[in-house]
Chain A
């Protein structure tokens, strides 16, 4: 591996440390009586409110439509994700140190696959919360589900729900792009 691609994969791994310090995703809800909005941030290992009590309030509102409460301590993904990112950081650094091309290709391909699985899993998670509703909920509208969008905005009853990647997701994208450039350089260098 060239010094450039070794540097790139090292950089890709190191910036990935940043995902532990910033949220990956942000979901915001607005309603006429919530002009200030309610928001929640999804991190690698936790879910927090935009303001201290936002998650508590989102759960409170969700009970009217029978959505089960979001309890971060019960979400398996939040326990696994830190290890996945940790794994990519370590693997990337080993790649940079050893200069092993195969490891580089593995890193990139695995990252892309895990990324796709992650987004698919996030969709599944949103689908589950949006569809798996308590049949005894006070507000029931036949045929209406409350699944927030993966990316973008959607009107859910009186709520305008917006879901967008946050800083952590951008870091991951930049990281994988750096890895891909490194892999590209190695692939076409001769």
Chain B
């Protein structure tokens, strides 16, 4: 009896030990971040058609910040203020909107390092760099000779380059041709952008490729460092009803690009320099913090025929979407969205096939490798509609499946399925922190879905997108991942990235140093505040500090004037922004961080006295933080007069 009891206790203890591993805590406990504690990861989710990036904390799923990148943002004046509007310049003109898809963290030795975040714009081809000290968009580069910049902005292991490409092939250079002559005129470009030199992002080179749809990319690492892989579909070269016409072939291609070979060809002069025009917009993190556009006029083209060895085609079933490289850099997984298998290519085999010239053909000087020669295995019966793959660092791959609405988990080396988890509903991209890098932090999995339906409280026809946070901290070979949370997302997150908070948080800025502010219209103290007329322009050099503007009374403005309010927030205290808004402004409000100067333009239309005020509840007397501008008729003789408090200054 006694012995039995002992055995019972022991087995109970053993049982609890086992069950403790992953499921001991409830989902609620696993995602609850108590007051006084912070989330463990920053997650950066693209916002798709909102042109922004959403910054979330994981595991709580709380939205921490929206970073405007390619879209105007009246919340803080991005794109409206004089300092930021040049960020949206392109060769097509000033564009207030963009479509953000694939955020990518900067890497050192293949591991996210928390310096920068890059993201692409699909519609008017561009890439951007966000500084993770300020969480602000600092640099935007337009991609010339491109359309539908989708296979972007995937990074090389030491942040040398980010990728860009044409999802929509076009006549290159653009010209007026019949659409039906697609096959004759349309071409694609694969672009490498120099990424590791802040303020100097530029197109390093472009490779001119056949007119297919270049869809997604990922770069090699470890043994495959020096290569990047791009999926293509529509090798049928259809120009209409692609859903049928581009789904005919059994296999399309993954383009394997040897960028180190491309560097050689550039060094040897095996390129063609072509004239064009594209914008490089840069807002420096210090100094005047005034965005300026530099118009670039040249780009280097590599023609595959003239630079042998720069690109090969890997046949891949069928209309592949995602292409992902395993953390060890040895395997390349294609997500053939119409395929019944998941093809896993071997990098080793690919190199051998190239050495042994195991070619199945050639297109425009690009050798097509034999499928059997490069394929490691085909994962059988994976799911329906495989798209994207992330890795957990334990030899497992996680592929999202749109049609069957699940994630299939498998050992990519053994080609063996170990489990699957459902998504709600129709998953697109999925993300594991560091899951596309050489060292994933395999703790969480976030599939991001395209269809929401009944997951959240309904909000009319337009619903938020849902992501499911799974706990994968226990090996899915033994323990089924636990569903923790539905995350309500902004816009349509395509890809996402996440990084341990300790790699970013300690480096973030609290304020901008007023001393280092050398904006041309900075006002560093209230004594320096002034109003200056220059013809029809009136420049207000204004300070904001709790709880007043200087000056807060302004006279002498006339109908027909353009008034520039250059507002310097002279606070040097953490989390004390001031806002500025003036009645009738056709721009937006500006939200000025401590130590920063922002400028908003105002063109009053009729005589009167118009209020302005601080839009950020900055202090107990925030409501008192207001002022007036007197606007006189165009022919009035009212002198410029300004001040705050008792002292008014008059300019004769």
Binding site for B on A (CB under 8 A): 36, 52-53, 56-57, 60, 64, 138-139
Contacts and interface: CB of A to CB of B under 8 A. Distances in A.
B319 to A, nearest CB: 54
Chain B interface size, as a band, is 10 to 19
B573 A138 contact: no
Interface in B546-591: 546, 571-574
B621 A60 contact: no
B621 A138 contact: yes
B573 A60 contact: yes
A36 B574 CA distance: 10
A123 to B, nearest CB: 29
A53 B572 contact: yes
Given A53-B572, A57-B572, A64-B620, 13 more contacts: A36-B574, A52-B572, A53-B511, A53-B573, A56-B572, A57-B573, A60-B545, A60-B571, A60-B573, A64-B546, A64-B621, A138-B621, A138-B624
Interface of B: 511, 545-546, 571-574, 620-621, 624
A36 to B, nearest CB: 7
Contact of A60 (B546, B620, B624): B546
Nearest to B36: A35
A52 B516 CA distance: 14
A57 B573 CA distance: 7
Nearest to A33: B575
Contacts of A64: 546, 620-621
A52 B573 CA distance: 10
18 contacts: A36-B574, A52-B572, A53-B511, A53-B572, A53-B573, A56-B572, A57-B572, A57-B573, A60-B545, A60-B546, A60-B571, A60-B573, A64-B546, A64-B620, A64-B621, A138-B621, A138-B624, A139-B620
Nearest to B513: A52
Contacts of B511: 53
Nearest to B571: A60
Nearest to B621: A138
Nearest to A138: B621
Nearest to B573: A57
B24 to A, nearest CB: 33
A26 to B, nearest CB: 20
B473 to A, nearest CB: 31
Contacts of B620: 64, 139
A48 to B, nearest CB: 14
B506 to A, nearest CB: 14
A32 to B, nearest CB: 13
B547 to A, nearest CB: 8
Contacts of A52: 572
A126 to B, nearest CB: 23
Contacts of A138: 621, 624
Nearest to B619: A64
